[in-house]
Copies of this chain bind each other. A is one copy, B any other.
Amino acid sequence: MITLVIYDITDDRIRNRVAKVCKQHGLSRIQKSAFLGEISSARRKELSVKLRKTLGKEKGNIQIFVICKMDIASREIIGDIEEYEDEEIIIF
């Protein structure tokens, strides 16, 4: 299961925590506020619980998408993906 997480969080502390949770659950950064990766459905559920806890009642929005293999094949990338510290960049 390919999972995409995108978020819009103003608070630096919370935003960094969200990024950390995504990384810890096997996703790789593809943009400043977007993570992508192939993880099991169980792991995605765990990720969702953790992200919910991390945001708590703070202002912000996180969205989790599941993308099937067929759809990911249509993914288009325009411009360069920045390299992020200590991270691999996924290009399926």
- Interface set of A (CB-CB < 8 Å, partner B): 4, 6-8, 30-34, 48, 51-52, 55, 58-68, 70-72, 74-82
Contacts and interface: CB of A to CB of B under 8 A. Distances in A.
Contacts of A74: 65-66
A66 B57 CA distance: 31
A72 B80 CA distance: 27
B30 A63 contact: yes
Contacts of A79: 55, 58-62
A51 B68 contact: no
A81 B61 CA distance: 6
Contacts of A8: 31-34, 82
A45 B57 CA distance: 39
